Amino acid sequence: MKRSKRMESIVKLAANEEKQAVARMSQAAANLEKKQATLLELEHYKLEYSQKMQLTKGNSIGVQALRRYHAFLASIEQGIAQQQQEVQKAQQAYEQARQEWMRFRTRTKALDTAMQNCRREERTQETKGQQKIMDEFSARMGRRGKKRQ
């Protein structure tokens, strides 16, 4: 079996690993987007709730209602802080998946280049071998022609 043929199997395996890494990276990217969207929703909700309260402040509200407002606002802020941590973890996971994909991509490219070089070398050797055969054949034919004269 030619060396390029053996390398072709290795390149296929590397390309499959790269494909799997792309899938993991895509999944990590989707997870990151989902976490970021949730964070934006929480921040929007906090802003909306705060604006409603500002409108209500013009009217007299009770102490209990004000305490509930502050407690609820604090829980929203806590949820935002937790979600920010989730976004940060998702960003790290995505970055790790991206770096892993880059490693696999680099490896696949290097192996593919090596396989192409092997193929080129094999073609060169085949061409040289064929040329040698043709030269030997021509030399024999030339010697036969000289013997007949």
Over the chain (149 residues), the average pLDDT of each successive run of 10 is: 84 95 98 98 93 75 84 95 98 98 96 91 84 80 65
Three-class SS string for 91-128? HHHHHHHHHHHHHHHHHHHHHHHHHHHHHHHHHHHHHH
Q: What is the model's pLDDT at position 145? A: 62
Question: Are the C-beta atoms of 25 and 97 separated by less than 8 Å?
Answer: yes
Cβ neighbours of residue 86 closer than 8 Å, sequence gap 6 or more: 35, 38, 39
Q: What is the model's pLDDT at position 16? A: 96
Cα–Cα separations (whole angstroms), residue 75 to 31, 82, 108: 24, 10, 49
Q: What is the model's pLDDT at position 144? A: 66
Question: Are the C-beta atoms of 11 and 108 separated by less than 8 Å?
Answer: yes
Of 3.30.450.20, 3.30.565.10, 1.10.287.1700, 2.40.10.480, which CATH number belongs to 3-148? 1.10.287.1700
Q: In the structure encoding, which two tokens stand for residue 60, read together?
A: 């007299």
Q: What residue type is 133 in one-letter code? A: I
Question: Are the C-beta atoms of 119 and 4 separated by less than 8 Å?
Answer: yes
Where do the structural domains in the chain lie, given as residue ranges? 3-148
Question: Are the C-beta atoms of 108 and 7 separated by less than 8 Å?
Answer: no
Q: What angle do CA 18, 31, 106 make, to 5 degrees?
A: 20
Distance CA 99, CA 79 (A): 30
